[in-house]
Amino acid sequence: MSDAARIQLLSPRLANQIAAGEVVERPASVIKELLENSLDSGAKRIDVDVEQGGVKLLRVRDDGSGIAEDDLPLALARHATSKIRELEDLEQVMSLGFRGEALASISSVSRLTMTSRTAEAEQAWQVETEGRDMQPRVQPAAHPVGTSVEVRDLFFNTPARRKFLRTEKTEFDHLQEVIKRLALARFDVAFHLRHNGKTVLSLHEANDQTSRGRRVASVCGPAFLEQALPIEIERNGLHLWGWVGLPTFSRSQADLQYFYVNGRTVRDKLVAHAVRQAYRDVLFNGRHPTFVLFLEVDPAVVDVNVHPTKHEVRFRDGRMVHDFLYGTLHRALGEVRPEDQLAAPAAVEQMVRPTGAAAGEFGPQGEIGLAASTLETQPATNVWRSPGAGYQQYSGGSPAAAVPAAEAQSAYREFFAPMPSSPAMGLPAEQGDVPPLGYAIAQLKGVYILAENVQGMVLVDMHAAHERITYERLKVAMASEGLRGQPLLVPESIALSQREADCAEEHADWFQRLGFELQRLGPETLAIRQIPALLKQAEATRLVHDVLADLLEYGTSDRIQAHLNELLGTMACHGSVRANRRLTLPEMNALLRDMEHTERSGQCNHGRPTWTQLAMDDLDKLFLRGR
């Protein structure tokens, strides 16, 4: 056997450079590791200086607890950490860094100098590594209490890695994004960033709700905060708080999504699925929701050590977390009403707790359980029908006898303020009684309703708005009456893995509630004997396969609900008032009132907005008034 093929120990430097392949991908990776160390040291102010996108220089200075002289050489050694001692510590990690590889890996692909001083020490000490064996040298230095880490010439000794770096702007953008993510996680710490001598970020401590809102606006943009819904809910040991963007404030990319578990930023597929499911009914096709959310759980029920970069986590009870996230966000989005969107941005003032008896406790059945829960608490609202069909009272899903259109119009005139028919129509004298969407003035081209409210003018797409109202009522009706199943003349047999067949057997009751009847014929065979009557055109075998794949992956599935909603959406579209239908003023006002009481009425079934507000300021700008 040749010497080249024999097994031998790697040199310390080469071992560190291989480890650096996991930890150090680009300058942003270095900043992440250094900032996490600073935060773990108790720092309250962190200053970051960057040159040439971080390739030439990265300097992080903090006012944390510092490192003792004797510990400085150890800080640059592999598998050396102050954050865990025993295996039990690993099961409830609260610190951001704990692997003990970051500094050793960074120093193997750069020129690293670290200066630190503890509160008890008379002077600071500095350590740097050089040479093939990376032997650290310690010497006295001048420095206040805290630590400074200086990383120069990243990848100077690994030119192959350096070739894969992007432009200076691209690398700096990645680096800035890392700082923004950490700045949202730690409102109690001040962050300052300079690039090539120019101040880019200056975020001061944010210890109250107003200053937290300011920081969120600085990081995510003021438009996000103006169109975000603040939420906070605690249930079953899970505490979720933060801001979720309204569906109308969506993005073409998933670039404004910040999710934290116990202060650690994560990109988790279970979380992403729950959020996507909550927004499914209100987002335009291909758009992505926006959110800044913080989930706090017992550290013992979440494993943060499942990925080298610690971007992923694993929950002990993933299904409970998924259902809690989905239920909370779905309920919060459903409760948004026009008055919430018209109000001044109050996201900074207070946190709103989603209501609803079952908020945060929804199982795989998703919206069916949600809609059913609303039946118990839903007040009587006036259902608006297409012209000529008259009106009827709607209470708890039990339609009463239809009321003639003439009587209903009269009732509407008495219930709401009288609507003069003269062209000089205006708001009633008591403006405090004006509903959020105001009162209808006219219909434009048979498509839009023009209304006047306290803020100015409201434009409503009448077909889109009525489509959403009809759709929501169909969903509630379906939830109250259940799903009728249709037996198949010839049962369909499908071949599955034993794991999938076990999963189908475990969720048999859930499938039954949704109108399916599955029978196990063998270890790896199922028979579909019944499917929901509404889905008789669907490909049952493929649908069951896909649902079982979801159940195994996420512990829940919304595919059946998605198919049903698609069908209900089509029914709602055909059952809604069409364009070019002339409406009377009472009919238009009836539609506006229904919009104010219907969940998700701000978007149609396809995610398009149903109404928009033109305030007096907006109108004045159009005509240059006050210039």
Considering the domain boundaries, does residue 73 fall inside one?
Answer: yes
Residues 231 and 169 in one domain: no
Residues 469 and 354 in one domain: no
Question: Quick one: which of 402, 325, 405, 335 has its CA closest to 366?
Answer: 325
Average pLDDT of the residues in 194-203: 95
pLDDT of residue 157: 83
Considering the domain boundaries, does residue 386 fall inside one?
Answer: no
Using the 3D structure, point to which of 187, 203, 219 is the last residue of a domain.
203
Quote the CA–CA distance of 597 and 380 in Å, as a whole number.
10
pLDDT of residue 626: 79
pLDDT at position 426 over 70: no
Considering the domain boundaries, does residue 376 fall inside one?
Answer: no
Considering the domain boundaries, does residue 91 fall inside one?
Answer: yes
pLDDT of residue 357: 34
Residues 304 and 337 in one domain: yes
Residues 95 and 134 in one domain: yes
Whole-model pTM: value is 0.73
Considering the domain boundaries, does residue 367 fall inside one?
Answer: no
pLDDT of residue 128: 85
Using the 3D structure, point to which of 158, 174, 203 is the last residue of a domain.
203
Residues 226 and 333 in one domain: yes
Considering the domain boundaries, does residue 55 fall inside one?
Answer: yes
CATH number of the domain residue 528 falls in: 3.30.1370.100
Q: Going by C-beta distance under 8 Å and a sequence separation of 6 or more, which residues neighbour residue 616? A: 455, 456
Most confident of 162-166, 606-610, 621-625: 621-625
Average pLDDT of the residues in 115-124: 92
Residues 453 and 547 in one domain: yes
Quote the CA–CA distance of 306 and 295 in Å, as a whole number.
18
CATH number of the domain residue 336 falls in: 3.30.230.10
pLDDT at position 458 over 70: yes
pLDDT of residue 569: 78
Considering the domain boundaries, does residue 81 fall inside one?
Answer: yes
Higher pLDDT, 283 or 365: 283
pLDDT of residue 134: 62
Residues 437 and 336 in one domain: no
Residues 554 and 627 in one domain: yes
String of DSSP letters for 549-607: HHHHHHS---HHHHHHHHHHHHHHHHHSPPTT----HHHHHHHHHHHHHSTTTTB-TTS
Q: Provide the domain count of the chain.
A: 3
Using the 3D structure, point to which of 165, 183, 203 is the last residue of a domain.
203
Residues 412 and 470 in one domain: yes
Higher pLDDT, 306 or 157: 157
Q: What is the domain range of residue 97?
A: 12-203
Considering the domain boundaries, does residue 3 fall inside one?
Answer: no
Residues 199 and 225 in one domain: no
Structure tokens at 268: 């988790």
Residues 558 and 451 in one domain: yes
Residues 426 and 348 in one domain: no
CATH number of the domain residue 162 falls in: 3.30.565.10
pLDDT of residue 99: 52
